[in-house]
Amino acid sequence: MPGEDWTDVLDSMPAPRGRTWGGNVFIAASVDGFIARADGDMDWLTAYSAEAGETGYDDLMSRTDHVLIGRRTYETVLTFDSWPYEGKGVLVLSTTLPASGEPGGDERISVVRSIPEAVAHLNAVGAAQVYIDGGQVVQASLAAGLVEYLVITRIPILLGEGIALFGPLPADIELYTISSGQIGDGLIRESYAIVR
Amino acid sequence: MPGEDWTDVLDSMPAPRGRTWGGNVFIAASVDGFIARADGDMDWLTAYSAEAGETGYDDLMSRTDHVLIGRRTYETVLTFDSWPYEGKGVLVLSTTLPASGEPGGDERISVVRSIPEAVAHLNAVGAAQVYIDGGQVVQASLAAGLVEYLVITRIPILLGEGIALFGPLPADIELYTISSGQIGDGLIRESYAIVR
């Protein structure tokens, strides 16, 4: 295991001002910063593997009570054999999906129409540890200052183009490096806390 | 020191087919992949430090006989107190700079007009280890298959925009992870060999 276990830090941190919860991003990206090819393909990623214990994903999910994802991630998750968020509150950010109570709505999720609505919802239910996933949602959450921990698993490949992990920000975001090290098939796990 | 010393690998590798030399990129980038702000500013980078021994830069430069840089990097280097490439052959890729023998030409450099001209020049002089630096030159060299080793020092900051380390590629580039680890002020050094 590389360095100290970053998830140990999670429980000891107070919630950020104005929120009951902290936002955590745990995502894989190519060395040149893409989370998928332009068409959403992730086969280049699944060719690599690491022990779940090494990545820290299982540990993070066991501490996660709420998930905030985008519509595209939600639709990808729907193709999985089983619902991976059992027992957690799931917010899907979408302007088009029907709400939970509406015809065609999915009762397992809460549809939110905007980042501020997601924040208000998570505060109202007293969320504690929120896992944030999906390209646009991660970018929007970083830009809105809603991310406390950022864990990147670098896949040793350059894709040249695709869906970027990072996007524009209103200002620099300073990071504190918690740990870094090689895991599995040459993957590098970098974990950072956002400095405020 | 994180992991094995990647420079140890350099001398033991045969030169790639069709070349007398191997290309090495050693560059610092923000976690979101920028090597400078849009206006070229690098103050965000120089705020961080690591021991030269830790970064491996001095070790690499001691094994480097030729340097391939772009015009903008060359002009930045001209503002330094001393010429950092003493004793090395320096190629500057530029369509506008006067050649070495021409009026206004710099006798310390060889101006090359294209990547193929750079390759031919380096082969003609029997270059062995070539250090490749500068945003556009690194991107062009990666795309042209001229890079054998890629060492990235990740600076723990997100800039949101700027001059990108990576650009489009004709095809995926598979990497072999040599080492990774934290150095200095929370910097993460990742070293990769290009897989062919």
**Complex confidence, ipTM:** 0.92
Tell me which chain A residue has its CA closest to the CA of residue B47. Answer: A174
> B99: exposed, middle or buried (C-beta count within 10 Å: 0-12, 13-18, 19+)?
middle
Cβ contact, residue pair B175, A186, below 8 Å = yes
CA distance A122 to chain B (A): 26
Cβ contact, residue pair B166, A192, below 8 Å = no
**Token pair 């996660």 in the structure block, residue:** A64
- If residue A59 lies in a helix (H) or strand (E), which one and from where to where? helix A57-62
Q: Which of A1-10, B27-36, B55-64 has the lowest mean pLDDT?
A: A1-10
Q: Write the residue in B159, B173, B187 that is nearest to A172 by C-beta.
A: B159
Q: Choosing among B155, B188, B194, B195, which should be mutated to test the A contact, i.e. which has the most A CBs within 10 A? A: B188
Cβ contact, residue pair B158, A165, below 8 Å = no
**Mean pLDDT computed over A153-157:** 96
pLDDT of residue B136: 94
Does the structure show a pLDDT above 60 at B3?
no
Tell me which chain A residue has its CA closest to the CA of residue B177. Answer: A186
Assign A54 a pLDDT band (cuts: 50, 70, 90): confident
**Mean pLDDT computed over A31-53:** 89
Contacts of B145 (CB under 8 A, 6+ apart): B196
Percent of chain A with pLDDT over 70: 93
No. of H helices and E strands in chain B? 7, 11
Cβ contact, residue pair A177, B156, below 8 Å = yes
CA distance B109 to chain A (A): 31
**Mean pLDDT computed over B149-178:** 97
CA-CA distance, A123 to A127, in Å (whole number)?
A: 6
Does the structure show a pLDDT above 60 at B105?
yes
Assign B111 a pLDDT band (cuts: 50, 70, 90): very high
Does the structure show a pLDDT above 50 at A1?
no
CA distance A67 to chain B (A): 23
What is the DSSP pairing of strand A34-36 with strand A163-164?
A: antiparallel
CA distance B165 to chain A (A): 8
pLDDT of residue A182: 92
pLDDT of residue A97: 95
What is the residue type of A59? D
Q: Which of A69-73, B16-20, B31-35, B170-174 has the lowest mean pLDDT?
A: B16-20
pLDDT of residue B5: 62
Q: Measure Cα distances from A11 to A129, A172, B166 in Å.
A: 9, 26, 36
Cβ contact, residue pair A180, B175, below 8 Å = no
Eight-class DSSP state of B191: E
Closest CA to B141 of B172, B118, B174: B118
Contacts of B100 (CB under 8 A, 6+ apart): B106, B107, B109, B110, B111
DSSP A96-134: SSPPTTSTT--TTEEEESSHHHHHHHHHHTT--EEEEES
Closest CA to A109 of A123, A120, A94: A94
Interface of B with A (CB under 8 A): 2-3, 31-33, 44, 142, 150, 152, 154, 156-161, 165-177, 179-182, 186-188, 190, 192
Cβ contact, residue pair B160, A170, below 8 Å = yes
pLDDT of residue B2: 42
**Mean pLDDT computed over B99-104:** 88
**Mean pLDDT computed over B8-35:** 88
pLDDT of residue B27: 95
Does the structure show a pLDDT above 80 at A3?
no
Average pLDDT, chain B: 92
Phi and psi, residue A140, nearest 5°? -65, -40
Does the structure show a pLDDT above 70 at A4?
no
Closest CA to B23 of B144, B110, B182: B144
For chain A, the helix, strand and coil percentages under 3-state DSSP, each to the nearest 5: 20, 30, 45
pTM assigned to the model: 0.92
Assign A58 a pLDDT band (cuts: 50, 70, 90): confident
Average pLDDT, chain A: 92
Dihedral-angle region of residue B139 (phi above 0 means left; psi in -120 to 50 means alpha; beta otherwise) = alpha
Closest CA to A119 of A18, A195, A26: A18
pLDDT digits (tens, 9 = 90+) for A67-101: 999 999 999 999 999 999 999 999 999 999 999 88
Closest CA to B152 of B187, B184, B121, B102: B187
pLDDT digits (tens, 9 = 90+) for B50-87: 776 777 888 899 999 999 999 999 999 999 999 999 99
pLDDT of residue B52: 66
**Mean pLDDT computed over B78-97:** 96
Contact A112, A91 (CB under 8 A): yes
Q: Which of A38-42, B79-83, B123-127 has the lowest mean pLDDT?
A: A38-42
Percent of chain B with pLDDT over 90: 79
Question: Chain B residues with CB inside 8 Å of A143's CB?
Answer: 160
> B87: exposed, middle or buried (C-beta count within 10 Å: 0-12, 13-18, 19+)?
exposed
Assign B1 a pLDDT band (cuts: 50, 70, 90): very low
What is the residue type of A191? S
